[in-house]
Amino acid sequence: MNFELAEDTRNLQDAARSFAQAELPALAGEVEETGEPVSADWLHRYGEMGFLGVNALEEHGGLGLPLLDALVVLEEFAKISVGVAFPVFECLTGPVRIVEALGQPALADRIVPATVTGDKLVAISMSEPDAGTALTDLRTSARIKSSSIVLNGTKRWCSGAGHSQGYVVFCRFDDKAGAAGVGAVYVDKDTQGVSFGPPEQLMGFRGVPSADINLDNVTVPEENLIVGPGGFPNLMGLFNIERLGNATMSLGVAQGAADQVTAYVQERIQFGRPLAEFQAVQLKLADIKMKTDAARLLIHRAATDLRDGLPDAQNAAVAKCFINQAVREVCADAMQLMGGYGYAKEYGMEQRLRDAYGWGIAGGAIDIQKVNIASGVLGRRFSQRKG
């Protein structure tokens, strides 16, 4: 077991860190102030530097590197802000991975290269008004009619809705009940019958537009079928990559807070001494260090201990759950250590705390992850359904 990153991975990390630290703080400030997502020009810059295709296949224009390399890059972006890191999260660990791994070659060839260059963003649309944690209750219907698929329904909480050019939409085929009927279809934004609800006003995640998606007799070619009924386990297998992306976004937010507060407590003088000289402050810094280090180890374990090329569900759940909780605690401690400056918008720590909270809801809430972890420990599954 080697806890050191390989030299090539460290070089990639250095490149991402230098770019992020030098170029992104000003952009992050703009995104936070205006609520506008990262612009197309910036996306192209991310793409030119290779950051949107770290783990995409080389035949799709990517670097073809392992998941761990992608997560190492993502952490550097997330240390700056969720808003500037979100496109990287979507491209490296989100729905693009589903399209590349499960989509038909014609679809993957059309979509993935355009995401690597920053020409296209793809969002994931799973949740519905009555299907959140109970995802397999989703009702959006898909009917296969000769060489096309017709979709009807309402999706909710889609990050990127209205902004992304494409959507991986989870849907129910031919009224088959439960998980057995669930599959996924790729939908282009400008397809007739696609419309978006008003933008949601969230606690954090500025620059990540969220809205309902209404699908009204939306007809797409058969080529857009990603997986049909029976494909839900494959979708969830791929979703473990997104869970590690979620965990890494949480870790980046926590590490960004850790770095900021560590500098602050050495500069801020009270009682004639830097805050860092008070033992109570040191104890909080130690807590922050223990949590960020432990989270990184759990994430890197899950990203390297792969089964058939995918993270193990249990490892991914443990990593996600741990840091989803820890990032809230780390940011709250960091905010407290900055006193009034921590609570003021100008210094950015309150933003980190607001952004921290979303990750433990998105991608499977903390408590359902714990239920899944306990199932693994006990070697039994517990139905969450009544009766």
| Residue of the chain from 24, 70, 92, 126 that contacts ligand FAD (CB under 6 A) | 126
Task: Show the site string, 196-235: x = touches ligand FAD by CB under 6 A, - = not.
Answer: ---------x------------------------------
Identify which of 259, 261, 161 has the alpha carbon closest to the alpha carbon of residue 213: 161
Residue nearest to ligand FAD (CB): 132
| Sites for ligand FAD among residues 300-359 (CB under 6 A) | 358
Q: Kindly tell me which of 123 and 275 has the beta carbon lying closer to ligand FAD.
A: 123
CA terminus-to-terminus distance, the chain: 46
- Asked if 64 interacts with ligand FAD (CB under 6 A), we say no
- Kindly tell me the burial class for residue 211, based on how many C-beta atoms sit within 10 Å of its own C-beta (0-12, 13-18, 19 or more): buried
Identify which of 210, 220, 132 has the alpha carbon closest to the alpha carbon of residue 184: 220
- Asked if 361 interacts with ligand FAD (CB under 6 A), we say yes
- Asked if 66 interacts with ligand FAD (CB under 6 A), we say no
Q: Kindly tell me which of 117 and 375 has the beta carbon lying closer to ligand FAD.
A: 375
| Residue of the chain from 71, 73, 158, 215 that contacts ligand FAD (CB under 6 A) | 158
Q: Kindly tell me which of 127 and 315 has the beta carbon lying closer to ligand FAD.
A: 127
Torsion 160-242-127-357 (CA) sign = negative
Instruction: Supply 234's token pair.
Output: 């494959």
Amino acid of residue 365: A
Stretch that binds ligand FAD, among 1-9, 110-118, 121-129, 295-303 (CB under 6 A): 121-129
| Sites for ligand FAD among residues 44-63 (CB under 6 A) | none
Cα 238-241-246 angle, rounded to 5 deg: 135
- How many CB atoms are closer than 10 A to CB 184? 30
| Residue of the chain from 132, 193, 197, 230 that contacts ligand FAD (CB under 6 A) | 132
| Residue of the chain from 55, 81, 115, 159 that contacts ligand FAD (CB under 6 A) | 159
Annotate 121-182 with DSSP letters as a single string. -EEEE--BTTBSSSGGG---EEEEETTEEEEEEEEEEEETTTTSSEEEEEEEETT--TGGGE
Stretch that binds ligand FAD, among 126-134, 269-277, 304-312, 319-327 (CB under 6 A): 126-134
Task: Show the site string, 366-385: x = touches ligand FAD by CB under 6 A, - = not.
Answer: -xx--x------------x-
- Asked if 246 interacts with ligand FAD (CB under 6 A), we say no
Is the Cβ–Cβ distance between 158 and 213 less than 8 Å? yes
- Asked if 179 interacts with ligand FAD (CB under 6 A), we say no
Cα 307-245-103 angle, rounded to 5 deg: 65
Sites of contact with ligand FAD (CB under 6 A): 123-127, 132-133, 157-159, 205, 358, 361-362, 364-365, 367-368, 371, 384
